[in-house]
Amino acid sequence: MEKGLSGKTIVLAASRKTDEMTTLIEKQGGTALVRSMQGTVFLAEKEVEPVLKQIVQEKPDFFIFTTGIGTQTLLDVATQLGIYEEFLSVIQNASVASRGYKTFGVLKKLGIQPVAVDEDGTTAGLVQSLNHIDLQGKRVAVQLHGDASPKMIGFLEEKGASVLQVLPYQHTAPDDEVVETLIQEMKEKKVDAVCFTTAIQVRSLFKYAKRSGVGKELLSLFTNEVVAVSVGKVTSEALREEGVERYVAPELERMGAMIIELSKYYTHKSE
C-alpha cells in the first residue's frame, strides 16, 4: 500500500526538532528538506530599558500583553533596573488585555485581572475582545514577541490609540540565501509542501518575498501549487494574514500531528 507522502518533497521551515519530523516524513514515504525560516530571537535588554523607563514616566492607560515569557521578561528587566515596584504600579493602575493562557497565568500571579482576553490564543481573538473598548486618545503599551504585529497595531491606531511597542525579544531574519533557495525550489516545482511551526517562519518568508518583488508570486504558488502546513492556531493566523487561505493544520497542535495530517490530506486527495 502506498504511503501518504510517497513521492512528495516536504520542506521544514523550522529550526527545532527537524530530525524527528524528517523521520516521520520518511516513514510516510516522503523526502524532507530543511529550509529554516526561523532566524533567531534574542533578548533585547538594552533596547527595552529606555522603553520601560518611558512607561514608568508616562503611565499608559492600557497594557496589552501577548506572551507569558515576554511579560515575565519585562518584570525581570524592571527588577534589574530597580524600577519593579513603579512598573508594577503602572500595570496595576492601567486596564490590561492578555493573549494566551501562559500570559494570563503570569498576570494572575501579580493579582491582575485583564479586562479583555482572547478566546483562542490568537491575535485575532484578542482584537475581537478589544473591539467594544473605547481606546480613542488612549496611550496603549503593547508587549510583542519576535516581531511587530501589523494587524494588532493597525487595529489600535484605527481605534484612535497612541501606541508604544515593547519588544523584550526581537527577531533576526534567517539567511537570505536559504529563503531565496526555498522560493526558487517552489518556482521550479521541486517542493510539494512547506511546514511552518511558528508565525515568525511565515513572516520571514513573506517579508523576504515582498522585499524581493515576488510576494504575489509566492502567494500564487501557495494558492495553486504548494501546500502550506501549519502546526497550530497562531501559525495558521499568520498564514491567513499573509493571504494564504489553503493550508493544512492538525487539531492537536503538535509537530508530529502536523505531519500525519499532511499525509492524510494527500491520501484523501488521491482517493
State which residues form the domain around 221.
9-39+174-270
Alpha-carbon separation of residue 271 from 20, 29, 259 (angstroms): 28, 17, 19
Within a domain: 2: no
Q: Tell me, what CATH number does 119's domain have?
A: 3.40.50.10090
3-state DSSP call for residue 52? helix
Within a domain: 65: yes
One domain, residues 240 and 266: yes
Neighbour tally for 151: CB within 10 Å: 17
Confidence of residue 147 (pLDDT cuts 50, 70, 90): low
One domain, residues 157 and 204: no
Instruction: Name the one residue in this structure whose C-alpha cell is 473598548.
Output: 133
Residue 44 or residue 141, greater confidence: 141
Write the single-letter amino acid at 33.
Answer: L
- Looking at residue 148, its pLDDT comes to 66
Write the single-letter amino acid at 262.
Answer: L
- Rounded to whole angstroms, how far apart are CA atoms 253 and 236? 11
Which residues, 6+ apart, have CB-to-CB distance to 63 below 8 Å?
91, 94, 95, 96, 97, 140, 141, 142, 143
In the chain, the number of structural domains is 2
pLDDT, one tens digit per residue, over 188-202 is 999 999 999 999 999
One domain, residues 48 and 146: yes
Within a domain: 3: no
